[in-house]
Every structure is written in structure tokens, then in C-alpha cells.
Amino acid sequence: MNKLTKWVIGIIVVIAVVITGYFVSQNSSKVSTEQIKIGVVAPMSGNLAFLGEGIRDAMLLAQQDLGNTQYTYELIFEDDQLDSKITASAVNKLLGVNKVDAIVSFGSGPGNVVAPIAEQNNVVHLGIASDPNVAKGEFNFIHWTPPAEENKVFVEELQRRGIKKLGVFESNQQGAAAVMADLKEKLKETDIEIVTDQVFNVGEKDFRSIISKAKNSGAEIYLLMAFSPEVEVLGKQIKEAGINTPLTSIEAFELSEQVDLFEGEWYVNAASPTGDFTTKFEAKTNENPTLGAANAYDIFNLIVAATEAFKGSTKPTPNQIANELTTIKDFNGVLGNLSVDEDGIVISKAAIRMIKDGKPVDIDN
């Protein structure tokens, strides 16, 4: 080997060492390049696709807003049409094919399907659901203003207004049923009586006869425990039956496309997300945040917070993430100050609102 060749090899080696050293030093702050996969099961088609799309957009927004993190976070969306039967196969795909580290679900029905699967497969699961059963087990959590919180505020408002006779129209959908079960327990401790309790199936469009049954019950206010489109049709048919008794609900009114039907009526809702989130969401989607969107945004950040708490060469186990989640207190979410209780419920506040001039407004009680 002549002298020139030796010089050339030597320079190449030096350059290689410098470059390697540069990249190693850059990556030394990143302990791991491992990816955290978050599977999201929500309705992307069917009647409630607009809700699934809102959740998807909120989580993508949260991903976009994420600063520097140790780990990278991938979102994988699966459509379940809010149908528990489809949820199961969607979740199995996320686990078996995509090998996700965490699952987010929407709705109490689907949430109850995911929860045992998550528990069995040791995967963290956060449900946007009102049913506390979804949060059973080590790996399951829900982020929803819990029924207990909403009902507490609701009962207080009924008492403040001096209402003694409550009429109820309730859908037999899981989420509504969970809220009603808790409400009925709370009402036992008061002098408020449920004078009529009419139950109907999801998908029902003809409420005329159950309205006829409730008409002469003497109710001072009717609670409509239903969601779109049943709540609109019910509200319309109540008016068409010549009933002028006030109407109220827990969460349903402001989701309706026909809020005018409920003009002047008060109701209970989860507290509003921050203005900043609403602005960003509207800029991204040209729509107001839909039901569960703010929760989804927070859930993404909760998972990130719990995961980032670990510094190691490999990503934390689901067990570690779950344990970390349970310790979260006073987390600054878009739904306010969030804390996770011992039952795995992310507590956020409820508020009393009223439809005024076609828009929901907070009212002070």
C-alpha cells in the first residue's frame, strides 16, 4: 500500500468516526426510538360516523401538538360503527396484527367489549364511556364526566328549582342505562319522585304511545335520557302531543341538530373544553368539537404523560403505563384539571347549561 492510499483510508476512517460520533451524541438524549402504538376503535361509518371522525381529528390534533418526546406515538384507527359485535373483531385486529400498546374506545357498549380483552391481553385501555364497568380491572380506564358527577349536579339543580315530580323517557342504550341507574339511587335520598318512567329501544321513531302514557302523570319536568336522533324525535313528538311541560337532559341537547326544539330548557353536560382546544379543532376541521373529541385529545396526552414518565432503553410495559396512569393528579387537560381515581375513572366536572338563542350557554346555579 503506497503512502497516498494510506492517507486516503485514514481520512475516510476519521470522517466516519466523526459522523458516527455526531449521530450517537444526537441520539443520546433519545434513550429509545421505540414506537408506542395506540389503537382507536370508534364509529367511522354509519349514523354516528361524525362522532368517530371528531375523535379521530382530536387525536390527530393532539399528535400534531406533541412536542419532543422520548418515544414516537402512532395512531391506528379502526371502524366499529358503535356496534359491539364489530368492536370485538376490530380490537382483535389491533392486537393481533398491529400489536398496539394501548387501545382507546368510544361508547359504553364497545367499551365493555374491549375491557375484558384488554385485561386478558395486558393492554392499556381508555374508554370514552360513561359506564364505570368499562374501567374495571388493572388496565382499564374511562375518561368521561362520570354519571355520579353529572347526577350530583342534576339532582342539586332539581332541588334548587323545587321540582318534586320527575318524568323520565329513557333509551335502553348502555350509557343511558348507566346514568339512570346511578340517578335513581341518588333520588332515593331525596323527596323527588319519578312519576313516570318510559323505556324505549334505540332506533325507535314513534314515541307517541309512550308519550300518551306519560302525559297525565303529573310530571313537572321530563328527563329525556336519549341521544340523537331519538332525542329530537322524542322532543318533537312531545310538543306535538300538546305537552308544554319543561324538558331536560343529561348531555343530549347540545349534540342535537335541532337545538331549537330545546330552546330555553336547562340540562346537565360535561364541562366545556378550553377555548384554545375549540379554536384549534375548528381550524383543523371547520366544525365544533363533537361529543368525546376533547376527551380523546386528553386521553392521547394522558397516555403520553404516563409513557414519558419512564426513562429506559426500551419502552415501558403496559403494566407500568397503567400504574403510572393511576397516579395522575391535577393533569392539565383541555377538559380542565384531571385526576384519575382509584376506580380508573378520569374525573372531570359537570356543568348546568341552557339552550339560549339556539346555542348552549353555561348558567350559574
Provide CB contacts within 8 A for 279, sequence distance 6+: none
Question: Which one-letter amino acid corresponds to residue 39?
Answer: G
Q: Cα–Cα distances in Å, from 56 out to 51, 113, 161, 220, 302?
A: 9, 20, 39, 40, 16
Residues that bind other proteins (rule: CB under 8 A) add up to a total of: 38
3-state SS assignment for residue 357: coil
Answer yes or no whether residue 362 interacts with other proteins by CB under 8 A. no
For residue 274, the minimal CB distance to other proteins (Å) is 26
Answer yes or no whether residue 204 interacts with other proteins by CB under 8 A. yes
For residue 266, the minimal CB distance to other proteins (Å) is 18
Out of 34, 83, 229, 326, the only residue in the binding site for other proteins (CB under 8 A) is 229
- Residue 279 C-alpha cell reads as 379554536
Answer yes or no whether residue 210 interacts with other proteins by CB under 8 A. yes
CA contacts within 13 A on the Cβ side of 322: 24
Out of 42, 48, 61, 124, the only residue in the binding site for other proteins (CB under 8 A) is 48
Task: Determine the Cα–Cα distance for residues 247 and 345; give it in Å rounded to an integer.
Answer: 29
Answer yes or no whether residue 257 interacts with other proteins by CB under 8 A. yes
Binding span for other proteins by CB under 8 A among 44-52, 70-78, 85-93, 281-289: 44-52
Answer yes or no whether residue 105 interacts with other proteins by CB under 8 A. no
Binding span for other proteins by CB under 8 A among 42-50, 60-68, 127-135, 307-315: 42-50
Out of 85, 161, 184, 236, the only residue in the binding site for other proteins (CB under 8 A) is 236
Helices (H), 28-107: 49-65, 84-96
Answer yes or no whether residue 21 interacts with other proteins by CB under 8 A. no
**Whether the bond into 289 is cis, omega within 30 of 0:** no
CB 271 within 8 A of CB 149: no
- Residue 328 C-alpha cell reads as 395522575
- Residue 356 C-alpha cell reads as 339560549
Out of 85, 205, 284, 329, the only residue in the binding site for other proteins (CB under 8 A) is 205
Out of 154, 207, 266, 297, the only residue in the binding site for other proteins (CB under 8 A) is 207
Out of 37, 165, 215, 349, the only residue in the binding site for other proteins (CB under 8 A) is 215
Residues, the chain: 365
For residue 259, the minimal CB distance to other proteins (Å) is 10
Out of 2, 209, 286, 313, the only residue in the binding site for other proteins (CB under 8 A) is 209
* Residue 312 φ then ψ, to 5°: -160, 175
For residue 204, the minimal CB distance to other proteins (Å) is 7
Question: Which one-letter amino acid corresponds to residue 343?
Answer: D
Task: State the CB neighbour count (10 A cutoff) for residue 28.
Answer: 8
Task: Determine the Cα–Cα distance for residues 59 and 47; give it in Å rounded to an integer.
Answer: 21
Out of 213, 284, 329, 359, the only residue in the binding site for other proteins (CB under 8 A) is 213
For residue 171, the minimal CB distance to other proteins (Å) is 9
What residue ranges bind other proteins (CB under 8 A)?
45-50, 172, 198-201, 203-210, 212-213, 215-216, 228-229, 232-233, 235-237, 239-242, 257-258, 260-261
